[in-house]
Amino acid sequence: MLKSIQWKLVLIYSLLILFAMQFFAVFLTQSLEDYYVTSFAQNLESQGLLLVNFLERYLAADEIGSTTGDIDSLVLEYSRYAGAAEIMVLDNFGRVISATRQSAELRGQRIIQEEITHALTGTRSEATRLDPETKERMKYLALPVRVGNRNLGVVYLIGSLEPLYATLREIQLIFLTGALLVMGVTVLLGFVLAQTITGPIQEVTSKAEQIAHGDYRQRITIHADDEIGRLGEMFNYLSRQLEATLQEISSEKGKIEAILNHMTDGIIALGSDGKILHLNPSAKRLLGLQAAAEPAVEILAPLIMPVNLAELLTTGQQTSQEITLAPEQRHLHVNYVPFQMQEPEPDYYTGILIVLHDVTQERELMRRQREFVANVSHELRTPLTTIKSYTEALVDGARLEPELCLSFLTTIEKETERMVRLVKDLLVLSQLDFQQVGWHKDQYALDELITEVVAELKLKYKETARQITVSLPVEPVIAYIDRDKIKQVLLNIIHNAYKYTAEGGQITISLEQQREQAVMQVSDDGIGIPAADVERVFERFYRVDKNRSRAYGGTGLGLPIARELVAAHGGTISLSSELQQGTTVTVTLPLPQVREEDEGCVSA
């Protein structure tokens, strides 16, 4: 409780008032006591002196015994009006001559008291002490009765001080009652006063606590233009500044988190102790972790093993390396960047930022480019070598033999046609890649197009018997296509079925409409394709068996061109095959309900 400023203020304020009142009460009580006791003593002495004056003539008589009755009458009469509780008259030997207490044994007795002894010597004497019987405080005054230099006796007055002290006690009770009342009012006023000081402080504390829990909209109501009011104004200013700053920080944090979470590059932040501070979703994806997985330092072993982290933190130099992660064979370019979370020293680094850039596609593209160049070179070198050899033979004299010359020229013509087909296919792929193909789309019946292609290929392969089955729907399937491009796709697919199906083999061609798609399938029971090569048949220049494909006159670009043409129409092409069981190629084309004007782009 005493930890509260309010209670401390009330306690200090109350103690100050209590001390002041106590000091005042003690001082006043002591002054009153001195005043009343002095007044009582003076009154007692004045009465005693008056009695002394009356007794001088009686005690001066030669025969005191003859005047005893008069002395008794005087003392008795005087005691009625005097404030003394008891009056005694003693002779010069200290014997009682008269007293207010009419006791036979007291008269004639000698009273021995210190103040009486002093009075018998002619000296006024007084004393204050407790009565042994009543235990009351009594005032004792002894006055000598003298005539000239002769001591005639003593007037001994005894007065009770209890009424006086009873009055003082009543005064003290009044002071105590007043003090309690004043203390109550003081405590109440102290609470009110302390509340005016501690109330705003408690409000500041409460608001600060709510701000500490994240509610930055708290404001203090200003009640006065004093120091507390100015404190409240400053608190409100700080609260507004803090809210604005935290909103800005939160906004920047949200931006940074959005950037980090949506970056294609992986970001990993390590502390100086090697622990992971942050790992964004791209980093988890590149490292093969689940999105909700807790980051562990062990997963970074392939990344940080070749790098001395302590040396990087000391030197602050950036470094990089390229690693390959198994079993996906993913190629990552890794950058290591030391950073500072705080700046106690200019060259003090507290962590390392690891940036992961996936270069797998780039490396694959480079590999394919090299492979493409090698394939094109090989495809061109083979017919060129043949042409060169036969040309040299003709120059050397083979031209003089008609039959041999005709055979050589026929071979040169075939190789030349082969190069022309290769160049045409490359040109088509180049135009598709750079979107330089001229499209002439319109509504055409796919069943009529299939019938036309089958008729052309039957005529071409009439010398090699194939069992061809064509399954077409009753209703025509109308598609919005470039007729020549889709015809080229069908020619390529059905041509492959002819080439790789033995004589007497079965080729099945079907067309059906599934919802808003046209599905065309070409199946054969030919030699098929190994499972490992199925997914790569759409790569450029890829051949399952290069010698066999070349013997059939293929360039390895037919299926890649077909895939690009179908994709340009918004469709898909897929292939399934089993070795020595046959192959099925499926082409799907969209069939929208409403067609816009013909699309087209300018040919290069």
Q: What is the pLDDT of residues 226-272, one digit of tens each?
A: 777 788 888 888 888 888 888 888 888 888 888 888 888 888 888 87
Nearest alpha-carbon partner for 141 in 68, 51, 53, 30? 51
> What's the length of the chain?
604
* Segment (H or E) for 145: strand 137-147
Q: How far is CA 457 from the centre of its chain?
A: 72
Which residues contact residue 121 at a Cβ distance below 8 angstroms, ignoring those fewer than 6 apart?
Answer: 144, 151
Predicted model pTM: 0.46
**Whole-number CA gyration radius for the chain:** 65
The tokens describing 367, both together, are 């590999």
So what's the pLDDT on residue 231?
81
Q: Is 346 exposed, middle or buried (0-12, 13-18, 19+ CB in 10 A)?
A: exposed
Alpha-carbon distances, residue 538 vs 320, 557, 561 (angstroms): 36, 8, 9
Report residues of the chain scoring pLDDT below 70: 1-6, 61-67, 81-85, 101-105, 291-299, 302-306, 341-348, 463-464, 543-555, 593-604
Instruction: Give the C-alpha separation, 331 to 467, whole Å.
Output: 49
Could you tell me if 10 and 194 are in contact, meaning their C-beta atoms sit under 8 angstroms apart? yes
Could you tell me if 266 and 286 are in contact, meaning their C-beta atoms sit under 8 angstroms apart? yes
Nearest alpha-carbon partner for 348 in 381, 315, 299, 380? 315
Instruction: Give the C-alpha separation, 86 to 132, whole Å.
Output: 15
Domains contained in the chain, CATH given: 5-167 (3.30.450.20), 263-358 (3.30.450.20), 371-433 (1.10.287.130), 441-590 (3.30.565.10)
Q: Which residues of 427-442 are buried (b: 16+ CB within 10 A; e: fewer)?
A: ebbeebeeeebebebe
Which residues contact residue 181 at a Cβ distance below 8 angstroms, ignoring those fewer than 6 apart?
Answer: none
Instruction: Give the C-alpha separation, 600 to 251, whole Å.
Output: 46
So what's the pLDDT on residue 82?
64
Nearest alpha-carbon partner for 203 in 193, 218, 182? 218
So what's the pLDDT on residue 344?
52
